[in-house]
Structure 1
Amino acid sequence: MSANGGTKAIVAALLANVGIAVTKFIAFLLTGSSSMLAESIHSVADSGNQGLLLLGGKRARREATPQHPFGYGRERYVYAFIVAIVLFSLGGLFALYEAWHKAADPHPIENWQWVPVVVLVAAIVMESFSFRTAIVESNLIRGNQSWVRFIRRSKAPELPVVLLEDFGALVGLVFALFGVGMTLITGNGMWDAAGTAMIGVLLVVIAVVLAIETKSLLLGEGAEATDVATIERAVTDGPEVERIIHMKTLYLGPEELLVAAKIAVPACESAEELARGINAVEARIRAAVPVARVIYLEPDVWSATAQRAGTGAAAHTAVATPEAATPQAAVAGADESHAGG
């Protein structure tokens, strides 16, 4: 759902920004307004960003390879991080430079004075349509979360990126309208420079927020506490498992969660019986949390030594590193616990 919703929101934002960018450039050429130039570059950057998000989504769907055995789901995070860089440099820094340039040589808008106002009002209407689409699609998966929590906790980067971009675009248009309007009223070009500077600061702040949140996804985030609790219940809700010695989770992509756990199992008559029990536990996990698609369960006999070899029940929500989540690391952990016990 999140992938389809994200794609719809991205396409709506792309179409809106392409149309807005063209009209803003025309307005800049006619009036020479720095606010219009800053907003033109902002719309071009946003259009390129939506193209990057679509490309990232397409590349993330590639099949796993021996070199990338867990697939390419995280490529969506890489392209979202690139979006933050583009927004910071091409959008924010350019607007700040243009504001400095305008402040050094302020001049009023003398030609086609009505054009920037009409263009900005039209842009606000088009951007509002894009923002509304992003809100509607986000509400399908947001649940009862606040908007701040949704942006901070969402594992699919596309909708938070589009939401922040569209919000920034709307606020930026208001800043541009303020700068242009005050310049037309007073005849002082410094208002135009001030509006441009406000746009630049806004874009830099949004880019930094996006970079921080996407960086966390790139480093690797575990499941939310509610999902961890659900997985724990699924593991222990049956006779196959006595207790969880330790467990770690890691998102391999927005719709793929890795679960790695050392579990204490009762004595079994045969390896076949043990295997059937583990398969039953895996089935319960996938039914409870469908995104848990990659599961590694290491059976063990519980003892104080085995408990010390793990991280303890209190650390269930700790985020696993890719190295710790590999089958080789699981085998190494088994060897260590058996040697100690």
Structure 2
Amino acid sequence: MSASGGTKAIVAALLANVGIAVTKFIAFLLTGSSSMLAESIHSVADSGNQGLLLLGGKRAKREATPQHPFGYGRERYVYAFIVSIVLFTVGGLFALYEAYHKWHEGGGIDEYKAVPVVVLVVAIIMESFSFRTAIVESNHVRGNQSWVKFVRRAKAPELPVVLLEDLGALVGLVFALFGVSMTLITGNGVWDALGTAMIGVLLVTIAVILAIETKSLLLGEGADEHDVAAIEKAVAEGPEVERIIHMKTLYLGPEELMVAAKIGVPPCDNVEKLARDINAVEDRIRAAVPLARVIYLEPDVYNPAAAGRADAARSEAGTDEVSGRAGG
């Protein structure tokens, strides 16, 4: 995923949310609408979240150290996970808290009745431009994936986070407009509280989705099936390798993949030739999957009997694991 594309989408969302937050808060001060207050806090939270994503992207570029020999690329996942926590607490839970109080206190909108409607309509327009930027930048890297698969499978967290935040912001604005409009029509503040509660449930839902996806990235994800197949083909297509005994992949960051494999090679007494052969295999892997920047290949002589025993042991362990989950 393009880091520059993600940064462009983040900056567009940040600028939109700062402007929207100010106008929403002014509308809240003038009208006392709980929907406007919830939306104000939502925009403030989103602005802070975009700042966190930019900070995470900057810190992830630090050079590797002896203590962190694989670099800091996964720090982008840490900040994306923090974003989900902020969205859950500052956005979602605050909106639900405000809805609870508004529901019991009641009260309509008695002054500046046109202000919240105008502010919300303008905010919808501004947020739509931000959402459009996120869609355009995502389409550069999404390929033929559905939007659901893109959000679930993307290794760079910024664009999926901005997409979900902008989508949540647009839907939340519609909920706020519904609550405010019905309050103005009926004079009953319960509608305002209902709109606020809808915003809270929406934000909590989006925050949970983001937390689940970023948690998976934090734990460590391997390459997708397409890249695994490309790596296997690159390893096996030359004369240097008889077969892949086993292989594992792991994303060290959104733009750096580690490949570790034990490969069966023909018997060889020439160490220099073996080293050249391994280098040739590494070059093919990098040509096939450019993100495969850290590669560890262990040459071995393939023993079918030993491999069969290892496969049986792994199969038995997998069966036991499944049985344990089913029993639990």
TM-score w.r.t. structure 2 length? Answer: 0.94
AA aligned opposite 1:74 = R
1:78 aligns with 2:89: no
Q: Deviations over 1:246-299 (max 9, x none)?
A: 000000000000000000001223000000000000000000000000000000
Partner amino acid for 1:221?
E
3-state secondary structure, aligned to 1:69? coil
Partner SS for 2:67? coil
Q: What is the DSSP-based 3-state SS (H/G/I as helix, E as strand, rest coil) of the residue aligned with 2:37?
A: helix
Cα distance in 2 between the residues matched to 1:67 and 1:309: 37
Q: Map 1:181-200 onto structure 2 (within 5 A).
A: 181-200=181-200
- How many residue pairs end up in the alignment? 315
Alignment of 1:1-341 (within 5 A): 2-308=2-308
> How far 1:304 sits from its partner (Å)?
2.6
Which ranges in structure 1 are unaligned for 5 or more consecutive residues?
A: 319-341
Aligned-partner Cα distance in 2 for 1:311–1:117? 65
C-alpha separation in 2, matches of 1:170 and 1:77: 25
Residue 104 (structure 1) shift: 0.8
Q: Structure 2 CA distance, aligned partners of 1:34 and 1:215?
A: 33
Could you say what the CA RMSD is over the residues aligned between the two structures, in angstroms? Answer: 1.4
Maintained 8 Å contact 1:246/1:310: no
- Cα deviations across residues 217-254 of structure 1 (Å, max 9, x unaligned)? 00000000110000000000100000000000000000
- The answer to whether the 8 A contact 1:246-1:311 is kept is no
Structure 2 SS opposite 1:141: helix
1:178 touches 1:195 (CA, 8 Å); kept in 2?
yes
Q: Aligned partners of 2:105 and 2:160: how far apart in 1?
A: 38
Give the aligned residue type for 2:232.
E
Q: 1:307, CA displacement in angstroms? A: 1.8
1:309 shift after superposition: 7.3
Q: Structure 1 residues 310, 82: closer, same or farther in 2, change over 3 A?
A: farther
CA contact (8 A) 1:36 1:176 kept: yes
Deviations 1:83-102 (A, max 9, x none): 00000000000000000010
Question: Gaps (5+ residues) in structure 2?
Answer: 319-328
Other structure's SS at 1:90 match: helix
Distance in 2 between the 1:294 and 1:280 partners?
15
Identity of aligned residues (%): 81
Which stretches of structure 1, 4 residues or longer, exceed 6 Å deviation after superposition? none
Scaled by the length of structure 1, what TM-score is found? Answer: 0.91
Cα distance change on mapping 1:250 and 1:310 into 2, 3 Å? farther
Going from structure 1 to structure 2, the CA distance change for 1:29 and 1:151 (only over 3 Å counts) comes to same
Whichever residue aligns with residue 180 of structure 1, its letter is V
